[in-house]
Structure 1
Amino acid sequence: MARAELGRFLRDRREALRPHDVGLPAGPRRRTPGLRREEVAGLAAMSVEYYARLEQARGPQPSRRILDALGAALRLDPAERTHLFRLAGTAPAAPPGPSRRVRPYVAGLLHRVDAAAVVTSAAYDVIAWNPLAAALLTGLGDHPNLARRRFLGGPPASSGAEEFGHIAVARLRAAADRYPHDEPLARLLDELSVSEEFRHVWAQNPVRAPGHRSKIIEHPVLGSLHVHCDVLEVPGDDQQVVFLTADPGSASARALEKLA
């Protein structure tokens, strides 16, 4: 039964993908939807016969290495990857690190909203942003990690900074638990430990959930701007989309209109 469910899952996921989803040319007209078995086998570095046997529930118990290769070939998100391992009767290994790839539909959202918006990874790297966010949060290209900006950028200069410090530490602690072998995250935590404030908040082990909050942003040209921060989670990639807005008709809203 488990092998049959595993085979159906692999087949359904393969048929849901298109060549451009995995960086392959479309090629000649296809009689069946999705990728061919030989394309998935090639992406996963295994024989076509072996992959076909897995789909047909005739294959042996796949190893963790095989499952990892299939997860990458089929572009599985973390939840789908965990499901794949469970169907194979194998405990999933810890993910290698937080996803730093932004899905096209998330990137497209940034440019459809009338607000400053950024996408952050589980390590608080800003991995995508729209032009208004770049104008509001100056220096994103040079300093794209919000935790570094918060703890290593000098004393907090605005209201809401202390609260964000606790939110950032709570998220980074959770990321460290989920991705214990991610070297970039380990280096980030080492850098942040230079900050006495970071060490103090880390020792408190704060518990914070993403949600609505307000803060003051000190803009180098427009001065103090009162903004609202609202978070949309992208759980499959362990990412967050943060929208920054101002009260309609307020001076801060007019300033954001100038930036836009």
Structure 2
Amino acid sequence: MQREQLADFLRRRREAIRPAEVGIHDGPRRRTSGLRREEVAMLAGMSVDYVVRLEQGRSSQPSIQLLGALARALRLSEDERAHLFHLAGHRPPPAEEMARLARAGLVRLLDLLGDTPALVLSDLGEVLAQNRAAVLLMNGDHTGMDGDRRYLVYRWFTDPAVRATHPPEEREHQGRQLVADLRAVAGRRSGDPVVTGLIERLQAASADFRRLWAEHEVGVRRADRKTLMHPRVGPVRMDCETLVTPDQGQLLLVLTPADAEARDRMELLRVLGSQEFPTGQMTS
């Protein structure tokens, strides 16, 4: 572990990020253009004391989990993230694990979207990052799931509570879209054991999935309209726009109100959320 180099790298990256880039309001009394240590601690979900010790070269070796949280909080690029792991004395995660970390450029877009709900997803529907507005709209942080539950398509066909987040008249359409999208991924990643294993487990778990899979519909999701049944504000009708990375490995999903009623309900949700989250807090 290269403590001095790690401390210098973390300090310089913190100082290089403007608060507005991570959704934090820049007040008139701020004496530095970068983030404060307590803001990094908040974004990374760790104590301020530990951030201080890291920057002063006095910490024990940080875990891989802590490094991942710091990389997200500091909006590190893929090369910067690998450098961070090397300085901390860890081998960077394998390529398949790195693919499950949201790209820094997409995370910055989440920050810039502010009160517009947005998520970074893998091509298999894993939520890799989401902004605060998306946490409120989706009634929780969906980035911490593991096993097959991290895949939206798996949750949809195996958990009735997930399907209940959509009105009955939209569920067939939503299921078809998820299966058609998975079919496109399976074609693009032919022979990938992660994809083939997921499909096999879905076929074993759900007759509804088997029915739709047998129809061999293919379609990458790009734009859609859906209604989310929110437990606090009721149904919220949203337009969904998808931006895909060039390698099609990750995508940015942006949700905007489809009508005036949805705008009003999103505004109410923001008011309710502001009573629960400190100003500037976000999840990613």
| TM-score class normalised by the smaller sequence | 0.5 to 0.7
Specify the alignment match of 1:195 in structure 2.
206
Specify the alignment match of 2:134 in structure 1.
133
Residue 202 of structure 1 deviates from its aligned partner by 0.5
**RMSD of aligned Cα (Å):** 3.4
Specify the alignment match of 2:101 in structure 1.
101
Contact 1:118 1:129 in 2 (8 A): yes
Q: Deviations over 1:181-235 (max 9, x none)?
A: 5444344323322111111111001122323221111111211111111111112
Specify the alignment match of 2:80 in structure 1.
20
Contact 2:158 2:206 in 1 (8 A): yes
Specify the alignment match of 1:231 in structure 2.
242
What SS does structure 2 have at the residue aligned with 1:160? Answer: helix
User: Structure 2: how far apart are the matches of 1:208 and 1:18?
Assistant: 29
Relative to structure 1, the CA distance from residue 258 to residue 180 in structure 2 (aligned partners, 3 Å threshold; closer, same or farther) is: same
What amino acid is the match of 1:102?
Answer: A
Specify the alignment match of 1:58 in structure 2.
none
Specify the alignment match of 1:258 in structure 2.
268
What amino acid is the match of 2:121?
Answer: T
Specify the alignment match of 2:233 in structure 1.
222
What amino acid is the match of 1:118?
Answer: L
Q: Deviations over 1:126-173 (max 9, x none)?
A: 111111111211342445432123222225642433222222212212
Specify the alignment match of 1:124 in structure 2.
125
User: Structure 2: how far apart are the matches of 1:168 and 1:128?
Assistant: 19
Relative to structure 1, the CA distance from residue 108 to residue 181 in structure 2 (aligned partners, 3 Å threshold; closer, same or farther) is: same
Relative to structure 1, the CA distance from residue 123 to residue 221 in structure 2 (aligned partners, 3 Å threshold; closer, same or farther) is: same
What SS does structure 2 have at the residue aligned with 1:202? Answer: helix
Contact 1:169 1:201 in 2 (8 A): yes
Contact 1:98 1:179 in 2 (8 A): no
Relative to structure 1, the CA distance from residue 21 to residue 225 in structure 2 (aligned partners, 3 Å threshold; closer, same or farther) is: closer
Residue 171 in 1 paired to residue 195 in 2? no
User: Structure 1: how far apart are the matches of 2:190 and 2:97?
Assistant: 8
As a proportion of its length, which structure holds more helix? 2
What SS does structure 1 have at the residue aligned with 2:118? Answer: strand
Relative to structure 1, the CA distance from residue 199 to residue 219 in structure 2 (aligned partners, 3 Å threshold; closer, same or farther) is: same
What SS does structure 1 have at the residue aligned with 2:247? Answer: helix
Contact 2:137 2:230 in 1 (8 A): yes
How many residue pairs match? The answer is 179
User: Structure 2: how far apart are the matches of 1:233 and 1:19?
Assistant: 21
Contact 1:99 1:237 in 2 (8 A): no
Relative to structure 1, the CA distance from residue 182 to residue 98 in structure 2 (aligned partners, 3 Å threshold; closer, same or farther) is: farther
Residue 24 of structure 1 deviates from its aligned partner by 6.2
| Alignment gaps of 5+ in structure 1 | 1-16, 28-42, 44-71, 76-95
User: Structure 2: how far apart are the matches of 1:213 and 1:145?
Assistant: 19
Q: Deviations over 1:81-136 (max 9, x none)?
A: xxxxxxxxxxxxxxx79932321110111121131111111111111111111121
Specify the alignment match of 2:216 in structure 1.
205
* 2:256 alignment partner, one of 233, 236, 245: 245
What SS does structure 2 have at the residue aligned with 1:150? Answer: helix
User: Structure 2: how far apart are the matches of 1:128 and 1:19?
Assistant: 19
Relative to structure 1, the CA distance from residue 135 to residue 24 in structure 2 (aligned partners, 3 Å threshold; closer, same or farther) is: closer
**Bigger radius of gyration among the two:** 1
Relative to structure 1, the CA distance from residue 126 to residue 18 in structure 2 (aligned partners, 3 Å threshold; closer, same or farther) is: closer
Contact 1:214 1:229 in 2 (8 A): yes
Q: Could you tell me the TM-score, scaled by structure 1's length?
A: 0.58
What SS does structure 2 have at the residue aligned with 1:112? Answer: helix
